[in-house]
Amino acid sequence: MRSRLYTRSGLPDFVLDKVPKVDLVLSESGKQGLGAKILAEPAFALSARFDHPFFQQAFKELVGLLAAEFDGNPLIEFIDTFMYGFWGEGHTWPFGNNPFPDYQTAERTWTSMLEVQLEHFSKTPLLTNTQPDFSRVVIQN
């Protein structure tokens, strides 16, 4: 949904136009090397509020369309759950904040999104990257 390889958001305009965005701020460790280069790519430092109802509806529709096409397709080995910065993945480095107002909202949002994927993909395995996450958006026990 964000990549420093894009010159703009990875989300389509019809979603971006209806979903609030959050400015991400570089962490102290992120101000070095690659992090400093990211400042030159402002689209990467802007994140959609993934918990917003319009985003969630668009996500459900997208997953449904993907599953209709690819669930059980013998050419597809697995589907990435793309849990941006929550289960791991490290996608939120070098930022010190994240697009959620609090960690409970982050947990509810990503748990709900995983449930949508589990509901739609019953034949093709789902895969979640568990690389340590710089954003500290983790499940609180």
pLDDT, tens digit, for every residue of 47-73? 889 899 999 999 999 999 999 999 999
Amino acid present at 116: V
Instruction: Enter the tokens of residue 3.
Output: 């990549």
Q: Indicate the burial class of 16 (C-beta count within 10 angstroms; 0-12, 13-18, 19 or more).
A: middle
Confidence (pLDDT) at 36: 66
For the chain, the residue count is 141
Range of the domain at 79: 13-127
Nearest to 44 by CA among 55, 59, 34: 34
pLDDT digits (tens, 9 = 90+) for 69-94: 999 999 999 998 876 545 444 555 67
Distance, CA of 129 to CA of 113 (rounded, Å): 15
Q: How far apart are CA 120 and CA 118, in angstroms?
A: 6
Considering the domain boundaries, does residue 62 fall inside one?
yes
**Domain annotation covers residue 140:** no
Number of domains composing the chain: 1
* Residue 135 lies inside a defined structural domain of this protein: no
**Residue that is written with structure tokens 């690389």 in the block:** 131
Q: Does 76 reside within a domain?
A: yes
Q: Residue 100: left if φ>0, alpha if ψ -120 to 50, beta else—which one?
A: beta
Determine, yes or no, domain membership for 2. Answer: no
Whether 5 is in a domain gets the answer no
More confident residue, 109 or 95: 109
**pLDDT attached to residue 139:** 46
